[in-house]
Amino acid sequence: MHPNRRWMNWLLYDVGERFLRKYAPHFKGALYDLGCGEQSHRPFFLRYANQYIGVEWSGGDDSLRPDIVADLNRPLAIADGVADTVVSLSVLEHLYEPQCMLNEAFRILKPGGAMVLQVPWQWWIHEAPHDYFRFTPYGLRYMLNKAGFQVVHIEAQCGFFTTWIVKFNYFSNRAITGPRYFRRFLKTFLVPFWYLGQVFAPFLDKLDKDWDLEAQGYFVLAIKSDVNESEG
């Protein structure tokens, strides 16, 4: 179980893991994880890639031990065309210069390499004050095209019901106040509702005909065109 997975949000982690398994064929060679955090996905990526390189700004946090310490708002001290794969999960919204990171991802990728990106859309402010942006599919495509990516595939993670049921779970959990025993009682009372809502949400999402409009977030696959294709 992912260390941050809880009764109120396990569905989001299931959805994220499903997308990562879907994109697994693109995880290969030298994989650079931009904004790797505690590197919780390292074992998963190393099932497919030959090498995992975590890139993160440590910010004085000794628990973060990236392979490369870097500010993703600035150009990276990484050579051109060294990465077969770039991944970045729930990071772009925390950058005040997100275009810089996308430009750098394109630069360090080998021709034909892939970037797998995940960003939130309908989501609460988190890790404040370092939460700067939310991205629509149109904004993502514009920024990735601007960075140089010609092949961009964007998928909504979920539909309206998953988005709003999990948002309700987070809200109700944050709203619990009072003495410790009272908070414990309320959480015990709410757990069945949190759990069952997430069980039924994927089925209810089938009623939503356009997930892009109310998605919790998006997964993106962006391919750096082969040199020969670019010249042709």
CATH code: domain of residue 118 = 3.40.50.150
Please indicate, yes or no, whether residues 28 and 58 belong to a single structural domain of this protein. yes
Please indicate, yes or no, whether residues 177 and 222 belong to a single structural domain of this protein. no
In the chain, count of helices (H) and strands (E)? Answer: 7, 7
Q: Across the chain, what does the average pLDDT equal?
A: 93
Band the pLDDT of 7: cuts 50, 70, 90: confident
Please indicate, yes or no, whether residues 153 and 166 belong to a single structural domain of this protein. no
For residue 4, is it within any domain? no
- Cα separation, 80 vs 159, in Å, equals 38
R_g of the chain, CA atoms, integer Å: 19
For the question of whether the overall pTM of this predicted structure is more than 0.85, the answer is yes
- Cα separation, 144 vs 153, in Å, equals 10
Q: What value, to the nearest 5°, has the Cα angle with vertex 116 and ends 231 and 152?
A: 45
Question: What percentage of the chain has pLDDT greater than the value 70?
Answer: 93
Domain count, the chain: 2
Please indicate, yes or no, whether residues 146 and 195 belong to a single structural domain of this protein. no
pLDDT at residue 226, rounded to an integer: 85
Tell me the pLDDT tens digit for each residue of 18-52: 999 999 999 999 999 999 999 999 999 999 999 99
Please indicate, yes or no, whether residues 133 and 155 belong to a single structural domain of this protein. yes
Please indicate, yes or no, whether residues 111 and 191 belong to a single structural domain of this protein. no
pLDDT at residue 40, rounded to an integer: 93
Q: Measured between alpha carbons, how far is residue 50 from residues 23, 83, 105, 186, 212 in Å?
A: 16, 11, 19, 47, 34
Please indicate, yes or no, whether residues 26 and 127 belong to a single structural domain of this protein. yes
Tell me the pLDDT tens digit for each residue of 170-194: 999 999 999 999 999 999 999 999 9
SS3 helix, strand, coil % of the chain, rounded to 5?
A: 40, 20, 40
Q: Domain of residue 105: give its range.
A: 13-160+210-227
Please indicate, yes or no, whether residues 79 and 152 belong to a single structural domain of this protein. yes
